[in-house]
Amino acid sequence: MTTTMNVTSHPVLNSVVHHPFNSASRDVGCSEFTEAEFLQALQPYLSTLNDALGTSQLDVQRLWMNMMVGEVIAVEFDAGTLLFHVQGRAFGHYIDMRFACNKDQWTITAVTSVHTRPFWRSRLITTLVACVVGMLATGFIGYTMAAQRSPISKQTVQSWATLHGYTLVPSAGSSPSSAVAMGNQSASAPSVPNSSASGASGASGSSATGSTATGSSAKGSATGNAKMSTKKPSIDKSSSAKAAAASKPSSPQIYHFTLTSGMPLHDISVFLQQHHLVGNAFAFDQVLHKTGVEKYVWPGTYTFHSNMTQSQILQELKSKP
């Protein structure tokens, strides 16, 4: 004939599982399991614990303190008695006991196990392994996602211009500083002195009022001065030719802009600002809006040159390409 135990469970009892024993017993309404009650209830199992732990004098107070903070493995209710399966750690071993509480009276019904646990099965090692595995998995996922993304390439000016419909035209022309230098060189040509002419007129006046000898000498002096005054200054022909070539105005630079369908008008303003035809692209956008020219701009190729004024630029944009 077999006897079946009537063991029931309740959500309140299940809620204290894996909690420390002292707080779990208090949460379900049991009284405190005092050290005196623990010592009295442990008497039948002292010899078994001493043999299992390899000691002759068991520190009961230390064992009681460790079991009070041990982990509750399970809670049962059997015929008015609460059964707590508790696992505590003491003296380098794990000790499993079953405590019973009936009408605030505590007893120890069994010492179910005294064992050791390998360090690789400890909670610390398990937590560390889980963290390492999680970090490796995160790094692998990040590396896989980064490898699938397109590589980042530096965009050049030519590729940007092609993408936005611009046409790059190489600029050609002489440096303005060289033209200024050539102009300064041509402006420094020598001029004909006027002192010889005044000397000749003075000499002729003195010959009319003086003696014959004095007049002849003055005449000779005047003749010599006249010859000096009629001498042409030497001018560097090569410098004059270079100055004349530099003084010629350089031909204006031509810029072409192709406006495609769907391209914003702001790209035209940016293009004009890059070629120094307007001062600010956003300000020119406002000009297009206020003058109403933005309504007349159609897709096509527009031609600008370096000497255009703002009114000429607006006229070019109003004319259909």
Q: Give tens-digit pLDDT for 246-293.
A: 555 568 889 999 988 888 888 989 999 998 898 898 999 899 889 988
Span 96-122, mean pLDDT? 86
Residue 92 region by backbone torsions, left for phi larger than 0, else alpha for psi between -120 and 50, else beta: left
Percent of the chain with pLDDT over 70: 68
CB 24 within 8 A of CB 67: no
Residue 305 predicted with pLDDT over 60: yes
Range of weakest confidence among 27-31, 52-56, 191-195, 314-318: 191-195
Higher pLDDT, 169 or 2: 169
Among the ranges 1-15, 27-41, 169-183, 223-237, which has the highest mean pLDDT value?
27-41
Binned at pLDDT 50, 70 and 90, residue 100 comes out as very high
CB burial class (10 A; 0-12, 13-18, 19+) of residue 166?
buried
Higher pLDDT, 111 or 163: 111
Distances (CA, A) of 94 to 20, 25, 48, 149, 261: 15, 20, 14, 52, 80
**Looking at this protein, which amino acid is placed at residue 207?**
S
Residues in CB range of 70: below 8 A, 6 or more apart: 20, 21, 86, 87, 88, 89, 95
Binned at pLDDT 50, 70 and 90, residue 184 comes out as very low
**Given this model, what pLDDT does residue 72 score?**
94
**Looking at this protein, which amino acid is placed at residue 100?**
A
Span 99-120, mean pLDDT? 87
Neighbours of 220 (CB within 10 A): 12
The angle at the Cα of 77, spanning 76 to 78, to the nearest 5 degrees, equals 115
CB 294 within 8 A of CB 264: no
Span 15-27, mean pLDDT? 91
**Given this model, what pLDDT does residue 11 score?**
80
- CA-CA distance, 176 to 250, in Å (whole number)? 9
Residue 8 predicted with pLDDT over 90: no
**Given this model, what pLDDT does residue 198 score?**
42
Q: Per-residue pLDDT tens for 185-242?
A: 443 444 444 444 344 344 344 333 333 334 444 344 434 443 444 444 454 555 555 5
Say whether 255 sits in a helix, a strand or coil.
strand
Say whether 7 sits in a helix, a strand or coil.
strand
CB 136 within 8 A of CB 143: no
Q: Per-residue pLDDT tens for 36-87?
A: 999 999 999 988 888 888 887 888 899 999 999 999 999 998 888 999 999 9
